Amino acid sequence: MAVDYVKRPDAGGGSGSAIGLEQVRATAPGLVNLYKQAAVSLEKHRLAGERAAVYLVLDRSGSMRPYYRDGSVQHLAEQVLGLAAHLDDDGRVPVVFFSTAVDGAAEVWLDDYAGRVGALHDSLGHMGRTNYHLAMEAVVEHHRESGADVPALVVFQTDGGPSSRAAAERVLCEAARLPLFWQFIGFGEDEFRFLRKLDELPVPAKRVVDNAGFFAAGPEPRAVPDAVLYDRLTGEFPDWLRAARAAGIVR
């Protein structure tokens, strides 16, 4: 399925965070607490004032059904949107849904996020198997076509290993030469051995820089405190930025 994103005018911004607190309060009051908590983690990891595009990739394999039903996936999208407001001034997060293939793509916005993930999921029909690489390729394609001159933080959620592990590893290693950092999040009780392997792929034997991180959110991801989630989302990103800048991948 082709990935199609609809552009909207920039949401504004300024120094420091890309979108200021007052604008978030006016546009998305339900995200104010998340926005504030994200600021704490960004400051802690010396990312305050950085600019980056933010993507969200969501697993729609059959085993993910409970996490859409109980609001866990919607909550993650809101957490990511609260973080993105600091990094990108357009007030949007592109979202790629995947299972066997790319099921669809859309965006969540500061002014249009409530219940949106569940509604989009419901509109996409059959839930298939788990293939990371097609969703990863869709993100790579979009970032290239966007002409963005900033790096990208890709939050990639799944509840298990992919059907095609070799393809996922290949795409990750090829993407190491691009200004994309992949932060994988595991929902559920899986041991996530493959994601742990991706996180630890050797540099430079397999990839030019370490371009991935991973953490397991467990069987109840909504129970993970926002502060913990934001620390995990932003913890490895600064190390990658330094390495990518040294390698000439990021300006």
Sketch out the chain's domains with CATH numbers. 21-246 (3.40.50.410)
CA distance 35 to 39: 6
Segments of the chain with pLDDT less than 50: 1-15
The CA-CA-CA angle for residues 165, 117, 35, to 5°, reads 100
| Nearest of 221, 226, 195, 177 to residue 42 by alpha carbon | 226
Q: Work out the percent of the chain whose per-residue pLDDT is above 70.
A: 94
- Phi, psi angle pair for 107, to nearest 5°: -145, 150
pLDDT digits (tens, 9 = 90+) for 197-236: 999 999 999 999 999 999 999 999 999 999 999 999 999 9
Model's pTM, two decimal places?
A: 0.93
